[in-house]
């Protein structure tokens, strides 16, 4: 069984469209994240959730709206897509809010905006 799964794996869409990426973890973790990895492979945190509650919004444009219906799911909706949104988006989860930094990543969603 996949621990952290994201769908879709690839997403090609036109500028101005709205799209969603789904993430589910079956590890029973409390904390989930969204990261954006650009072409230079820099992993930048976007959002952090703990038990469905938004903890961190790392100055991400309002066009990005995460939603966590329960602690096993964290989805990402993006409105009015722009060329600069092209990147790989990773969902990740971590056991708790303690010091453990072992995060488990999904396989990533490669978003291409044309």
Partner 1 sequence: GQSLEQPSEVTAVEGAIVQINCTYQTSGFYGLSWYQQHDGGAPTFLSYNALDGLEETGRFSSFLSRSDSYGYLLLQELQMKDSASYFCAVKTGDKIIFGKGTRLHILP
What residues make contact with partner 1 under the rule CB under 8 A?
31, 33, 40-43, 45, 48, 50, 55-56, 58, 90, 92, 94, 97, 99-108
**Shortest Å distance, C-beta 114 to partner 1:** 20
SS (H, E, C) 20-58: EEEEEECCCCCEEEEEEECCCCCEEEEEEEECCEEEEEC
Residue 14 vs 99, nearer CB to partner 1: 99
**Shortest Å distance, C-beta 8 to partner 1:** 15
Residue 35 vs 78, nearer CB to partner 1: 35
With a CB cutoff of 8 Å and minimum separation 6, the contacts of 62 are none
**Shortest Å distance, C-beta 86 to partner 1:** 16
Alpha carbon distances (Å) from 17 to 21, 35, 108: 13, 21, 20
**Shortest Å distance, C-beta 64 to partner 1:** 16
3-state secondary structure of 10: strand
């Amino acid at each position: 069984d996949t621990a952290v799964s994201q769908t879709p794996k690839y997403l090609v869409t036109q500028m101005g469209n709205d799209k969603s990426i789904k993430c589910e973890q079956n590890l029973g973790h409390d904390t989930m994240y969204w990261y954006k990895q650009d072409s230079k492979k820099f992993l930048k945190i976007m959002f952090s959730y703990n038990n469905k509650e938004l903890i961190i919004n790392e100055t991400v444009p309002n066009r990005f709206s995460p939603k966590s219906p329960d602690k096993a799911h964290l989805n990402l909706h993006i409105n009015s897509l722009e060329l600069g949104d092209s990147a790989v988006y990773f969902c990740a989860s971590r056991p708790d809010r303690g010091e453990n930094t072992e995060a488990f990543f999904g396989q990533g969603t490669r978003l291409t905006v044309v």
